[in-house]
Structure 1
Amino acid sequence: METNEIIECIRPLLARFSEDEEVVRRLVTTDGTFDALCHQYGRVADLLKVYQAGADQEAEIEWLEKRRAALEEELLTRVEGYQPR
Structure 2
Amino acid sequence: MERIRLLLERFSENEETVRRLVATDARFDRLCDEYRKVTDLLDELEPEVRRLKERRTWLEEELLTRIEGYQPR
Common fold: TM-score over 0.5:
yes
Instruction: Identify which of structures 1 and 2 has the higher relative contact order when contacts are C-alpha pairs closer than 8 Å and 6+ apart.
Output: 1
Distance in 2, Cα, partners of 1:9 & 1:30: 16
Q: Which residue of 2 aligns with 1:48?
A: 42
Unaligned runs of 5+ in 2: 54-73
Paired letter, 1:44: V
Two-structure CA RMSD over aligned residues (Å): 1.3
Higher helix share: 2
1:56 positional shift: 2.6
User: Where has structure 1 moved over 4 Å in runs of 4 or more?
Assistant: none
Unaligned runs of 5+ in 1: 1-6, 58-85
Q: Which residue of 2 aligns with 1:11?
A: 5
Distance in 2, Cα, partners of 1:12 & 1:53: 19
Q: How many residue pairs end up in the alignment?
A: 51
Query: Percent of counterpart pairs with the same letter?
Result: 53
Within 5 A, what are the aligned runs for 1:5-84? 7-54=1-48, 55-56=51-52
Larger Rg: 2
